[in-house]
């Protein structure tokens, strides 16, 4: 598959008992990929290690298995791709081409802040998909802090407005699954 998932993770191996913020019934429903028909989005928010990328890959694999075209990249990967297209004078063509994919996964919005050009390109990607084709976005930051990522609260709220309009938002909680079973990191004794 050309989706370029960063590893293989399935919804079946996700441990819901460890993640109270993940609604099992909702995720099972999303696993049917019905939301793609309506160009709806899925937004996964939460601290590092809470399973955002795992669920995003799991949903992406389900979508691909039900015959949808899927691409996966980080937010910075998408911006780099759009910058390349833009520098060749082919931004509009690239956005049109990407709309033939029913699902784009945009992982890790928020780890690396965007400069103004990057923020504008990202906004164009979100706008071009609005009510046409789905996005799955993951972020370690709540919406209230996306202004810091995009360097501009106006562009951030315009983007959130479009992304959230037709979306399921899952807020994952707790401490990193990566650190489970480790001894308490901070100890007072």
Q: Could you list the residues that contact Mg ion (CB under 5 A)?
A: 53
Q: CB under 5 to 8 A by kind: which of ligand ADP, Mg ion, none does 9 bind? A: ligand ADP
Closest to 108 measured CA to CA, from 80, 82, 69, 140: 140
Tell me the DSSP string of 143-184: GGGHHHHHT-HHHHHHHHHHHHHTEEEEE--SS-GGGTTSPP
Smallest distance, Mg ion to C-beta of residue 91, A: 27
Binding site for ligand ADP (CB under 6 A): 9, 14-15, 18-19, 46, 48-54, 177-178
* Shortest reach from residue 53's CB to Mg ion, in Å: 3
User: Residue 139 forms beta bridges with which residues?
Assistant: 45, 109
- Give, to the nearest 10 degrees, the angle between helix 116-129 and helix 75-87: 100
CB nearer to ligand ADP: give 63 or 91: 63
Do residues 112 and 140 touch, judged by C-beta distance below 8 A?
Answer: no
In the complex with ligand ADP, the residue whose CB is nearer, 53 or 102, is 53
Between CA 95 and CA 30 the distance in angstroms is: 25
Kindly state the smallest distance separating residue 60's Cβ from ligand ADP, in Å. 12
User: Among ligand ADP, Mg ion, none, what binds residue 178 when CB lies within 5 to 8 Å by partner kind?
Assistant: ligand ADP
CB of 180 to ligand ADP, least distance (A): 8
């Amino acid at each position: 598959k050309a989706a370029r998932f960063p590893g293989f993770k399935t919804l079946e191996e996700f441990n819901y008992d460890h993640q109270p913020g993940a609604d099992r019934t909702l995720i099972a429903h999303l696993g049917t990929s019905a939301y793609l028909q309506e160009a709806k989005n899925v937004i996964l928010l939460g601290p590092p290690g809470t399973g955002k990328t795992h669920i995003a890959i799991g949903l992406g694999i389900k979508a691909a298995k039900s015959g949808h075209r899927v691409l996966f990249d980080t937010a910075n990967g998408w911006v780099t791709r759009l910058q390349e297209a833009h520098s060749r004078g082919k931004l509009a063509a690239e956005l049109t081409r990407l709309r033939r994919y029913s699902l784009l996964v945009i992982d890790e919005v928020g780890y690396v802040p965007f400069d103004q050009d990057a923020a504008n390109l990202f906004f164009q990607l979100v706008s071009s998909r609005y009510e046409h084709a789905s996005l799955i976005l993951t972020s370690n930051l709540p919406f209230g802090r996306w202004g810091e990522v995009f360097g501009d609260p106006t562009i951030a709220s315009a983007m959130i407005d479009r992304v959230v309009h037709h979306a399921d938002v899952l807020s994952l909680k707790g401490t990193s699954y990566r650190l489970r079973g480790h001894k308490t990191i901070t100890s007072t004794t």
